Amino acid sequence: MATLEDRQDARSARNGWLLSAPSLVILSFAAVGPLFIMLVYSFLKAGQYGNVEWAFSTDGWVATLFTRDIFDDTVSLADAHLTIFWRSVKLSILTTILTFSVGFPTAWFIATRPPKARALWLFLITIPFWTNLLIRTFAINEIIRSEGVLNTLLKKLGLIDAPLQIIYTDTAVLIGMTYVYLPLMVLPLFAAIDRFDMRILEACYDLYASRWRALTRVIVPIVKPGIVAGSILVFIPSLGAYVTPRILGGGKNMMIGNFIELQFGQGRNWPLGAALSVVLLVIVATALLFYVRAVNREVRHD
């Protein structure tokens, strides 16, 4: 016979499943499901006018890295694809570094304000979220384009003769992404710095540490969880960015996100698009794995 305790255990287990049911449903339909469909599609044949034919094929996967010459049917490495992968990774890493360089002092500044002012600054940081991403990106376009605010200003000041060609370059994409993702870096950094006990900083100075040593030997290691969280939050969406490279990078400075969209749109090669999506997923997962490992090793070596 079941004891009272056993019955209570059974009930709490049942309640646990019931409570998690909504999230399990959402996760399986909205996360696992689409990923599974992508994986299946990547192994099918491309349809003539988009969509897929239900026949097994590895063409989609081959096409991620190789191109088949239309005339002599030889297979060669697809330089253009590799360039896009490399640009995506490079721009995402640079975006992460830039948002950190700008975000860390910002977060430090906010965290060291009196509590009332702190709330105001945090509020200001989140204001860009109120506007549509597209509109914000066009605003950046307006600033950096050839006849834009920046170039006009520099010309008026006599600092340049010809307008700086920023728009439709990797630099433009970098500026745009740094602007868009900055809050995602600032907020976790703020949370970590806010928890940092400033008396520890006094202990650093008391024990003969210079400002730089206090920063590198004590502050950064202690707020590291915030740095890791911020970097992940910036790096992942950067890698899959679509709107920003589309508007600021023009047609030629594509990133993976644009490339995938191309395959599902004009390219009419859904299996390739699906395979590229999986590649993106793998790049993100690998990058995170290496990053988190590297961070943890550093902790142990200190």
Partner 1 sequence: MPSDAIEARNISKVFGQGETAVRALDDVSVTVAQGEFFTLLGPSGCGKTTLLRMIAGFESPTRGQILLDGADVTELPPNRRPVNTVFQSYALFPHLTVAQNVAFGLQMQGKPRAEVNETTERMLALVKLDEMAGRKTSQLSGGQQQRVALARALAPAPRVLLLDEPLSALDLKLRKEMQIELKRLQHETGITFIFVTHDQEEALTMSDRVAVMSAGKIQQIGPPREIYTRPVNRFVAGFIGETNFLAGEAADGRVTLKSGGATDATVANGRTGPVTIAIRPEQVRVGPSGDGTLAATLRDLVYFGTDTHCYLSLPDGTEVVARMQSPATGDIGLAPGATVGLTFAPGAAQVLGD
Contact footprint for partner 1 (CB under 8 A)? 197, 199-200, 202-210, 213, 217-218, 221-222, 224, 299, 302
What is the Cα–Cα distance from 160 to 151, expressed in whole angstroms? 8
- What are the backbone angles phi and psi of residue 88, rounded to the nearest 5°? -60, -50
Minimum CB separation of residue 220 from partner 1 in Å reads 10
Closest approach, Cβ 231 to partner 1, in A, equals: 18
- For partner 1, the closer CB: 44 or 189: 189
User: Closest distance between partner 1 and the C-beta of residue 201, in Å?
Assistant: 9
Q: Which two tokens stand for residue 262?
A: 């191309």
Whole-angstrom Cα distance, residue 261 to residue 94?
Answer: 23
SS3 46: strand
Counting Cα atoms < 13 Å in the Cβ hemisphere of 15 gives 6
Q: Closest CB to partner 1 among 117 and 200?
A: 200
d(CA 301, CA 136): 43
- Closer Cβ to partner 1, 143 or 209, answer by number: 209
Least Cβ distance, residue 189 to partner 1 (angstroms): 17
Closer to partner 1 at the Cβ: 28 or 296?
A: 296
Q: How far is the CB of 215 from partner 1 (least distance, A)?
A: 13
Select 119 or 207, whichever has its Cβ closest to partner 1.
207
Give the DSSP H or E segment for 144: helix 133-144
Distance from C-alpha of 239 to C-alpha of 262, rounded to nearest angstrom:
16
